[in-house]
Amino acid sequence: MYRDRRAIISQIEQARTSKVLVYVTSDRPGLETQIHSEVFDFFVNQLDTIGVIPKISLYLYTRGGSTLAAWTLINLIRQYCDTLEIILPSKCHSAGTIMCLGADNIVMTKQATLGPIDPSVNTPLNPQIDGAPLGAKVPVSVEAIKGYIGLAQDELDIKNDENMTKILLALSEKVHPLVLGEVYRSRSQIQMLARKLIVNQLTDKEKIDKVISFLCSDSGSHDYTINRREAKSELELAVEKPSPELYVLIKALYDDIRDELKLTEAYDPNGMLGTNDRVAYVLKRALIESLDGGSYYFASEGNLINMNANGAQGPLKAIHDNRDFEGWRYERV
């Protein structure tokens, strides 16, 4: 709970001679939450409370989200400090990795991971997922499109223009041409943003090119994870290993957040309801916290209701999720 985490946050601030700002987006199966532009004002409120200071430590856990939101947030935080470091207790992928590129240094635990930043596009024009509810779309990534074309050229040895035209036409029948154009535009944009941010850690053009190429395509898969050793030794990012004392604090803060958000437990309405006819729930899915600015948290709230009915084969159990609130709340101690 936030009131319990405050003591840990205070100790990290003393250890880093900084002010700590916590940002967590849940990757709990069934309740995934992403970096989103809607958090901008909450960050402003936290930072106004903290004030303009020499150093801020952003404690970050996320599987990603909006590229432009990540860009906006990292530039916002830099307006309030001379030095920005990001502390990673565990996962920090996709748009979270973009935020890390904008820091002066990255404190990574041994289990912390970064990830590729190749974009995936999800628009109303994306292909529908077969058998899924209406509106559930297939994300389209740059690497998937490149892989399709690479398969045709390299593995199937299709070289002439006529056959390649057929390959592209077949692709456009499955993926709307405007989506294909948006994927290409997003890839160019994310490379530009990454180049602007990484200058806080690297200035050599060849090294920057190497990092951007690896994060955008050379890693081969959006699911690829980059550990501390690879981030420091191979990509040459400004990575710091925490001291044993700092590691204990970073891990303790993560453990508390993990337990409150139930990050390692899949959302299971049946298990939550059990033998009850009705159960109320409050499920926290994201946090923006600081010692002085309190805790903003994104929550889903409602009631699970057992809707038993008689079917041809006997009693049927159906659970109705009556979700009556989904949004941000504020807690201050």
Residues 101 and 148 both lie in one domain: no
Residues 145 and 105 both lie in one domain: no
| pTM for this prediction | 0.86
Question: Domain limits at 180?
Answer: 120-184
> For 156-165, b where at least 16 C-beta lie within 10 A, e where not — what string?
eeeeeeeeee
Q: How many residues are listed for the chain in this entry?
A: 333
Cβ contacts of residue 10 below 8 Å, gap of 6+? 291
Q: Determine, yes or no, domain membership for 44.
A: yes
Residues 35 and 169 both lie in one domain: no
The CATH number given to whatever domain includes residue 44 is: 3.90.226
Task: Enter the DSSP assignment of 196.
Answer: H
Cβ contacts of residue 311 below 8 Å, gap of 6+? none
Residues 93 and 78 both lie in one domain: yes
Q: Determine, yes or no, domain membership for 206.
A: no
- Give the amino acid at 315: P
Residues 17 and 87 both lie in one domain: yes
Q: What is the pLDDT along the chain (333 residues), one digit of tens a residue?
A: 999 999 999 999 999 999 999 999 999 998 889 899 999 999 999 999 999 999 999 999 999 888 889 999 999 999 999 999 999 999 999 899 999 999 999 999 999 999 988 766 666 766 776 655 556 666 666 667 776 776 777 666 777 777 777 777 877 777 777 777 777 777 778 889 999 999 999 999 999 999 998 888 665 566 789 999 999 999 999 999 999 999 999 999 999 999 999 999 998 888 888 888 899 999 999 999 999 999 999 999 999 988 776 656 666 677 888 889 999 999 987
Helix (H), strand (E) at residue 110 = none
Residues 157 and 230 both lie in one domain: no
Q: Determine, yes or no, domain membership for 11.
A: yes
Residues 101 and 246 both lie in one domain: yes
Q: Number of structural domains, the chain?
A: 2
Q: Determine, yes or no, domain membership for 208.
A: no
Strands 314-316 and 105-108: unpaired
Residues 83 and 177 both lie in one domain: no
Residues 139 and 48 both lie in one domain: no
